[in-house]
Structure 1
């Protein structure tokens, strides 16, 4: 009986973590799309980078990095980065690019 209960608990925990990751990914896509629209950039793709436990400053904080590609003129491609901590965007980085 306890084995089944532990198994069900682990499945629920895994499902909850997966659901939260998907929710965060959708929020990240929305934030990236909004920023690109404000800057008149064409969003090409968004991809999940990875989870990190430490920030570059050395603080212990769980955060996720998303990479995205965008185009400024239509025939070029640049790679930007969004750092999400929980469901909030912490850092949005765009490399130098041509202005549209």
Structure 2
């Protein structure tokens, strides 16, 4: 009886975590799209890179990393990185790229 209740609670918690991860992914994609529009870049793809404990500036902080590919002129491809804490972007990292 108690085992069934714990199993149901564990399933509900797993579904909640999945739902929050999907929500964060959609928010990250909208931030990346907005940044690419501001810089007049073409967004090619967005992918989840994983959860990490240590940020790129060596601070201990639980965050999520998203990688994205973009094009500046249409015939090139660059890879950028977005670090998010919760639903807020912490840092964009865009490599040097050609300008229009």
Cα distance in 2 for partners of 1:71, 1:31 equals 17
Unpaired segments ≥5 residues, structure 1: none
By how many angstroms is 1:59 displaced? 3.2
RMSD, aligned CA: 1.0
Structure 1 residue aligned with 2:11? 11
1:7-26: per-residue Cα shift (whole Å, max 9, x none)?
00100110010011000000
Matched, 1:43 2:40: no
Unpaired segments ≥5 residues, structure 2: none
TM-score (ref. length: structure 2): 0.95
By how many angstroms is 1:72 displaced? 0.3
Cα distance in 2 for partners of 1:26, 1:19 equals 11
CA spacing shift, 1:57–1:73, aligned 2, 3 Å: closer
1:40-75: per-residue Cα shift (whole Å, max 9, x none)?
000000000010122234433210000000000000
Cα distance in 2 for partners of 1:37, 1:56 equals 25
Cα distance in 2 for partners of 1:84, 1:71 equals 22
Cα distance in 2 for partners of 1:90, 1:31 equals 11
Structure 1 residue aligned with 2:94? 94
Structure 2 residue aligned with 1:84? 84
Q: Say how many residue pairs are matched.
A: 100
